[in-house]
Amino acid sequence: MDRIIFHIDVNNAFLSWTAVDRLKHGETLDLRTIPSVIGGDEATRNGIVIAKSTPAKKLGIVTPETLYSARRKCPGLVVVRPTHEVYKKYSNDLYEYLCNFTPNIERFSIDECFLDMTGTKNLFGDPIELAYKIKEEVKDKFGFTVNIGIANNKLCAKMASDFEKPDKVHTLFDNEIKEKMWLLPIEELFMVGKKSSAILRNININTIGDLANADQAIQERYFKNSGSLLITRANGIDDSEVEEYVAKNQSISNEITSAYDLTNKNEIIKLFLQLSNQVGTRLRKEGFHARVVTIILKNSSFQTYSHQQKLVNPIDTNEEIYKIAKDLLEKGWKNDPIRLVGIRLSNFSVENYKQMSLFDEVKPISNENIQKAMDNLKEKYGSNIIINASLLEKKEGK
């Protein structure tokens, strides 16, 4: 039996959610009706557009571009800072509502879900009518709009929800692929980004249909193993399942862009202290231990490079993460001016015992207990309750 997959995508999610939240708290102006964007803070060099209203889009504002350039296109542009707690709340509300329709649901990102609706016709009736009903109910209940794509697999459902926006239902069933998908420019295909599309255009493959009918040998010459995968996708073929469980993270990372380029090692190390606390807290919350620690550096020319270390014994304390990050900086930093620093943890294990290495110094057991006690305090009273002494800025001249 053919599968029936829904892909539900919130229209301009971050901006819509912010608008709805403000209206709920007494604001009368709806951000969705004026040129507005969600954007960072230029003073700290986070000045890019991360979401935009439809009127802003009509003025040619794209994601992600600099706020500077966006303001040139629209001098009166309203810029609102991101508020992730708000996004999380509305994302959860939507997810809980969608769970009413199937247990077979996958959260694909903060604003997208896949629903496997195969065989639900007896329960809910015609899938297309159901999609319209869901779309309207979401609007009534929560105040924001969604697009719903319906297809026989996840890839096509996702492509369909991307067709015309906002507040629309589209189908892209197997027998509609030629007519609805093959005419689209190659850039529209999922997983074809800037680099791939440039190569494809260069060999005169301009539409998804061109790629669907392309020579496999030529594709493999340019894209190696992913060449045949590209052709498969262009043909709308995708066997992947809707994964109802929440997939565990493969990595946990945090990054900070500095307000100015860092040339002093101690300044970089200071950020490592903050980052170690962040990733360490998240790691322990998952109950993980990490076997690989990676530092990420981006220099003033926007080149990113990294160094990593694989450990014999998985770790989970801030101190251990911090210490390794410092070592990696010693080995890896090219002494160039640094714009962004990050720490990534990966290769997780859930074992809560430590494999004793012959050469490991015997550590006092209490260290981990202290860490857990600190996490609990932070959870209860906020993350500012405990900060490392070196993060406290010394006031000039005092």
- Residues near DNA (CB under 7 A) are 13, 40, 42-43, 45-48, 50, 63-64, 66-68, 71, 109-112, 158, 190-197, 224-226, 249-257, 282, 292, 294, 302-310, 332, 339-340, 342, 346
Structure tokens of 334? 């090219």
Nearer Cβ to DNA, position 34 or 199? 199
Checking phi first, is residue 191 left (phi over 0); if not, alpha (psi -120 to 50) or beta?
left
**How does DSSP classify residue 11?**
T
CA 391 from chain centre, in angstroms, equals 28
Q: How far is the CB of 125 from DNA (least distance, A)?
A: 29
Which among 106, 112, 187, 379 is annotated as catalytic? 112
Q: Which residues contact 301 (CB under 8 A, 6 or more apart)?
A: 336
Q: How far is the CB of 397 from DNA (least distance, A)?
A: 25
Q: Is residue 271 a contact partner of residue 258, using CB atoms and an 8 Å limit? A: yes
Nearer Cβ to DNA, position 130 or 252? 252
Does the active-site annotation cover 368? no
Nearer Cβ to DNA, position 206 or 253? 253
Strands (E) located in the chain: 5-10, 36-39, 49-52, 78-80, 105-109, 112-116, 146-151, 169-172, 251-262, 289-299, 304-315, 338-349
Nearer Cβ to DNA, position 19 or 157? 157
**How does DSSP classify residue 117?**
-
Nearer Cβ to DNA, position 118 or 308? 308
Q: Is residue 254 a contact partner of residue 343, using CB atoms and an 8 Å limit? A: yes
Residues 287-307 as b/e (b if ≥16 CB within 10 A, e otherwise) read ebbbbbbbbbbbbeeeeeeeb
Q: Which residues contact 129 (CB under 8 A, 6 or more apart)?
A: none
Q: How far is the CB of 14 from DNA (least distance, A)?
A: 9
Q: How far is the CB of 258 from DNA (least distance, A)?
A: 9
Q: Which residues contact 323 (CB under 8 A, 6 or more apart)?
A: none
Nearer Cβ to DNA, position 95 or 124? 95
Nearer Cβ to DNA, position 81 or 121? 81
Q: How far is the CB of 380 from DNA (least distance, A)?
A: 22
The amino acid sitting at 224 is: K
CA distances to 97, 159, 173, 179, 336 from 151, rounded to whole Å, are: 21, 9, 5, 14, 50
Structure tokens of 129? 């009518």
Q: How far is the CB of 383 from DNA (least distance, A)?
A: 13
CA distances to 199, 224, 231, 233, 377 from 220, rounded to whole Å, are: 12, 4, 10, 14, 54
Q: How far is the CB of 204 from DNA (least distance, A)?
A: 17
Q: Is residue 13 a contact partner of residue 153, using CB atoms and an 8 Å limit? A: no
Which positions are catalytic?
Answer: 112
